Amino acid sequence: MKKIKVAPYQPQEVDVNQISENRAEILAWPFETGYAITLAHPLRRLILGSSIGYAPISVQIEGVQHEFDSVRGMKEDIAVFIINLKNIRFKIKDELDRAVVNYSFSGPREIKAADLANDEVEVIDSDMTLATLNEDANLNFTIEIAKGIGYVPSEDLRDSVDSEAIALDAFFTPVRKANYRIESVLHEDSPNYEKIIFDIETDGQITPIEAFGNALEVMNKQMSVFGKVFDLDLEATKTKGKSESILKTLLIPIDMLGFSARSSNSLERAGIKYIGELVLMSENEIKSIKNLGKKSLDEIMTTLEAQGFGRDYTLDGKVRADLIEKINQLKE
């Protein structure tokens, strides 16, 4: 017989298999049927799309006007140089968001990615070739490196880089691979439970665990907006309670307010039985009540002030409507 549940089973087991320095498997189980894919799919998308990385966003080369230009004595033309540069993975030190780095090289030599590392930036894939210079070549250039997520095309960066620099397509994503598979697992003699196995590989800017942790943080922050539903509901409850309290005060009978006989008689002859009826009236309307003198007017206005309904008080639209409806019912 199948048990009746009031909540889905909460997984308790988790494990990490470190396959290599930049690749790891993250396992979690047991999930009830359907829950594994519900969680795994959005997490995979966040791992790929929200992991923070670094990329060159612009390059300024001495003597070069555009990406189809060339540098005397350099084997590669500028287009190839830019492709090589975009493939190099950097990491800014000191947790800064941007770094502008200047370089100067003379030939003959082969410039490797490792040659770009200095006190400001670290280079992850140091063996990559950037350019090859002959004996009479001089290459001076400046790279701007930034922190970001996802992919940003050069067209979107032109306004945020130096006007004399060449904007680059920025590939920030440090995750090379993020896959998952779901396997059946036995739990409490039932084979109808599931295990998630994430397989994450990065380029070395961050670890697979950092990429996974970042995805979880982003998911929690994105989901937290729905928590405001309960804040709104609580605020609505408070507002409702406050409105009910105000309405209760407005329905206090006039004869309970301790008015003088002259004031009470004038209000009774005018058919006014509740304090709310006075609150609904302007001061001029109260003043125009038949046989109501200045002394009685001052007494009424002072009493209204003491009850929290002074001259500047304005009734909320719903409270006003509820008050009129309630007074009409009481007077029927």
Read off the pLDDT of residues 126-159 as tens digits, 9 standing for 90 and up: 889 999 999 989 999 999 999 999 999 999 998 8
Give mean pLDDT, residues 232-244: 71
32-37-39 Cα angle (round to 5): 90
Give mean pLDDT, residues 157-167: 89
pLDDT at 243 over 80: no
Average pLDDT, the chain: 89
pLDDT value at position 307?
A: 83
Write 298-305 long-range contacts (CB < 8 A, 24+): 299/259, 299/260, 299/263, 300/259, 300/263, 300/267, 303/257, 303/258, 303/259, 304/275, 304/278, 304/279
CATH 3.30.1360.10 spans which residues of the chain?
Answer: 13-51+175-228
Read off the pLDDT of residues 28-72 as tens digits, 9 standing for 90 and up: 999 999 999 999 999 999 999 999 999 999 999 999 888 888 899
pLDDT value at position 180?
A: 97
CATH 1.10.150.20 spans which residues of the chain?
Answer: 251-331
Q: Which CATH code is given to the segment(s) 251-331? A: 1.10.150.20
Q: How far apart are CA 299 and CA 265, in angstroms?
A: 13
CATH 2.170.120.12 spans which residues of the chain?
Answer: 52-171
Is 52-171 CATH 2.50.20.10?
no
Is residue 32 within 8 A of residue 9, CB to CB? The reply is yes
- How would you class 276 by CB atoms within 10 Å of its CB: exposed for 0-12, middle for 13-18, buried for 19 or more? buried
The CATH number for 13-51+175-228, chosen from 3.20.20.70, 3.40.710.10, 3.30.1360.10, 3.40.50.11900, is 3.30.1360.10
pLDDT at 250 over 60: yes
Q: Which residue has the higher pLDDT, 211 or 300?
A: 211
For the entire predicted model, the pTM comes to 0.68
Read off the pLDDT of residues 73-132 as tens digits, 9 standing for 90 and up: 999 999 999 999 999 999 998 878 999 999 999 989 999 999 999 999 999 988 899 999
What's the number of CA atoms in the CB half-sphere (13 Å) around residue 298? 3
Is residue 145 within 8 A of residue 103, CB to CB? The reply is no
Who contacts 148 (Cβ-Cβ below 8 Å, separation ≥6)?
Answer: 52, 53, 54, 55, 170, 172
Q: How far apart are CA 157 and CA 148, in angstroms?
A: 12
pLDDT value at position 279?
A: 86
